Structure 1
Amino acid sequence: MENVRAYGAGLAGANFDKNTFFKKPTVLFRCAALVFGLILWYSVSKGGWHKPSEGIHPVCLYGRSSSTCSFATAVGFFAVCGAAGLIVLDAKMDQISSIPTRRRAVLADLVVSAIFTGIFLIGFFTFWSKLSSFETDEDDENPIKTNNAKFGILSALLSFLAWGGAAFFAWRRYEEGNQATHEPNYDEQFGQVSSDVQEGYGYGGDSSGIGHVGAAPAQQSSYQSGAPPQTMQQPPANPYTQSEGYGY
């Protein structure tokens, strides 16, 4: 019965309970990762750029590197897609009856969560260092608004925590699933006993052993049957018990 619930899934074909589903730690972390990824994508795409007064093209607030802003928006977008996909996959887990398929699904969840955890950790330090190094031109009259860029940095940090929590619980589910599938059950431990022993209960390892069901009573040997009955003899009394001192 442990294999039926291996890798964190319930009985195959069970009814979907949304109240129980959205109380799972992995689902909560993924929902948080989805929200933070959406905030990162919006903050950088809308407020991560600055247009100089005499310039034609806007410049990225993260160290004037347009690739950094593009990277931030792309990471936020793919984080939203990844979190939504993993939520749907987790909702479908109860309908998967194949243990190898469940294992691959949980392994994919673990790999994706670990990858996004590393990306957001690197992105957080990259955005922070490049925003601090941004310098404006002396003749630039347009004010710089860095609120959205700072909010993007905060979103990257929170996304790192959310994806890290999701990766931790995915790893726990993967380890528990491996332990459940490799743990021997009752049938595997006691199902290898031969049918002769099960049917006859013989002490000799098969139905012909002594004590099996239907066995004839053991016959006495010839010398036992022909010998006269023997009476029990009492051992001689200790002669020293009546004397002074202690008996042996």
Structure 2
Amino acid sequence: MDGFQAYGAGKAGGVFDPMTFFRQPQTLVRILCWLFSIVILGCVANEGYTNRPEEDEEFCIFNRNQNACTYAVSMGTLCFLCCTAFIVLDVYFPQISGVKDRKKAVMADIGVSALWSLVWFVGFCFLANQWQVSKIEDNPLNEGADAARASIVFSFISVFTWGGLTLLSLERLKRVSFEEEYNKLFSPAVA
């Protein structure tokens, strides 16, 4: 068992290696998801609202539907925070020595990644539909049109990046499950 190191368990408690961490596909995809959430949040929060000179109140450029802008801003914010939390978990994952705790972390990652993929799919459909039915009269100068299109595109791309994270987490679960089975078979029995 000296040479066996199933996904870092043999190195539990070791020193954090940033080069190894940033070379992992899961880390790279998670950072992309984090950046995409920032782009969506920034596009809608900065240029998603406009007003006409004769009106005092701002309105959402997505068909004057306040729910569309609220959805994009809140999901961008929650996704940013969720990505940050899971990046921190990825940093500490090799230090988790218990296989059951590692398995719980990976199962949480699978569930959250699949949920975010669904959330961004709904967001893409909602934003694209509201943008499609927007009236020219509501925004004659086409203010924020590029930001609206960018938020729609990055919502679409986020569906696939979060789906990719789900698949990478499933692979990680296989490794952790293998480690658990290995420990059951080859651990000395406690009397």
CA distance in 1: counterparts of 2:179 and 2:62, whole angstroms? 48
- What's the CA shift for 1:182? 2.4
Partner of 2:116: 116
Work out whether 1:57 is the aligned partner of 2:57.
Answer: yes
CA displacement, residues 204-244 of structure 1 (integer Å, 9 cap, x when unaligned): xxxxxxxxxxxxxxxxxxxxxxxxxxxxxxxxxxxxxxxxx
Contact 1:33/1:163 (CA < 8 Å) preserved in 2? Answer: yes
Counterparts of 2:139 and 2:30, CA distance in 1: 42
Q: CA deviation at 1:148?
A: 0.6
Q: How far has the Cα of 1:178 moved from its partner?
A: 1.7
Structure (1 or 2) with the greater helix fraction: 2
1:77-136 CA-to-partner distances (Å, cap 9, x unmatched) read: 111111111111011011111111111111111111111111001111111111010014
Whole-angstrom CA distance in 2 between matches of 1:177 and 1:31: 23
Whether contact under 8 Å (1:37, 1:77) holds in the other structure is yes
Q: Which has the higher contact order (CA 8 A, sep 6+)?
A: 2
**1:118-157 counterparts in 2 under 5 A?**
118-137=118-137, 143-145=141-143, 146-157=145-156
Q: What are the residue-to-residue correspondences of 1:44-123 with 2, within 5 Å?
A: 44-123=44-123
Q: CA deviation at 1:52?
A: 2.0
Name the residue aligned to 1:158.
157
**Matched position secondary structure for 2:142:** coil
Amino acid at match of 1:172: E
**Does the CA-based 8 Å contact 1:53-1:142 persist in structure 2?**
no
Does the aligned pair in 2 maintain the 1:53–1:141 contact within 8 Å? no
Q: Who wins on radius of gyration, i.e. which is larger?
A: 1
In structure 2, what is the Cα distance between the partners aligned to 1:186 and 1:173?
Answer: 21
**Count of residues paired in the alignment:** 185
Structure 1 residues 86, 187: closer, same or farther in 2, change over 3 A?
A: closer
TM-score, normalised by the number of residues in structure 1: 0.69
In 2, Cα distance between equivalents of 1:187 and 1:105: 23
Q: C-alpha distance in 2, partners of 1:187/1:96?
A: 18
Residue of structure 1 equivalent to 2:42: 42
**Could you say if the C-alpha distance between residues 141 and 19 of structure 1 is closer, same or farther in structure 2, counting changes exceeding 3 Å?**
closer
What CA distance in whole angstroms lies between the structure 1 residues aligned with 2:33 and 2:124?
14
User: Which string of whole-angstrom CA distances, capped at 9 and with x for unpartnered residues, describes residues 50-92 of structure 1?
Assistant: 2123222122122211011011011111111111111110110
For residue 119 of structure 1, give the secondary structure of its aligned residue in structure 2.
Answer: helix
**Aligned-pair RMSD on alpha carbons?**
2.1
